Amino acid sequence: MRAAGYSHLLSTARDRSEAHEIRNLVAQASGRAARTLRDWNRHGVPPSGVAAVNRATAVWRLGGIQRAADTFGLSVRKTLSWLAGRGRRSRAERDRIERIIYSIGVGVTLLVRVEFNTLTGGLQAESGREVEVILSVHERDIEALDRLVRAGDIGPALQILEPLIYGQYMEEMVDVELTQILTPGPDLWDQADYVLTPEGVVGPGYEH
């Protein structure tokens, strides 16, 4: 199950030069070769690449590395390090970057594992299937999910997740009903900003 964020980002390019700039940003953010990026464009971005594409999207929307550095209040070197998912930043720097990213419509990433039923003609066709995905979400979604899950209000939490999964993974999840929130496997925990578990959200600012 893959997100289509990279192909959508490329579609915003007005000419070949801009498309080349976008490809370079995604390559810097992900550390992936051109062949891999072509695969992402054709088939979608795997969960492990979503955070990198989000960082590249933020830099692109801000007008490139130099303007992103000016906006973030960082040096170009530190901005390149952030783009590549490396380096340490102070809490104030992290908070400032997050606020800017939210303001331009690029969210944080949330690792989710859910159980779902497939539906055909409105009737259940297959039950108990599972999927693990990294979603791009806003901080308000993180806060709402944590509050609902900790309170045991799983239904409303699934209602928040359903359109997010539909919107970012529509190709393979056309007609489904989410039924449970599960604990994601360990492999992708370090690839997302936050992780949703049956007990609540795990990540900066959230106790577990």
Mean pLDDT of 4-31: 90
Beta strand ranges found along 77-208 (DSSP E): 108-120, 123-137, 176-182, 194-197, 200-202
Q: Is the pLDDT confidence value at 159 over 60?
A: yes
Task: Provide the residue ranges of all domains of the chain, joining segments of one domain with +.
Answer: 5-103, 108-202
* Over residues 139-160, mean pLDDT: 91
The β-bridge relationship of strands 200-202 and 123-137 is: unpaired
Whole-model pTM over 0.85: no
The enclosing H or E element of 154 equals helix 154-168
Mean pLDDT of 123-133: 78
Residue 105, pLDDT score: 66
Q: What's the average model confidence in pLDDT over 34-48?
A: 87
| pLDDT of the residue at 120 | 65
Taking the CA atoms of 70, 74, 75 and 76 in sequence, report the sign of the dihedral they define: negative
% residues pLDDT > 90 (the chain):
43
pLDDT at 173 over 50: no
Q: Report whether pLDDT(158) > 90.
A: yes
Buried b (16+ CB within 10 A) or exposed e, 142-181: bebbbebbeeeeeeebbeebbebbeebbeeebeebebbeb
Give the residue carrying structure tokens 């801009």: 18
Helix (H, G, I), strand (E, B) or coil at 97: helix
pLDDT digits (tens, 9 = 90+) for 70-124: 999 999 999 999 999 998 888 888 888 888 887 776 767 899 999 988 766 556 5
Residue 6: its H or E element: helix 5-11
Lowest mean pLDDT among 27-31, 48-52, 115-119, 204-208: 204-208
Q: Residue 72 has which token pair?
A: 């973030």
Residue 151 has a pLDDT of 96
Task: For the chain, give the mean pLDDT.
Answer: 85
Is the confidence at residue 60, as pLDDT, over 70? Answer: yes
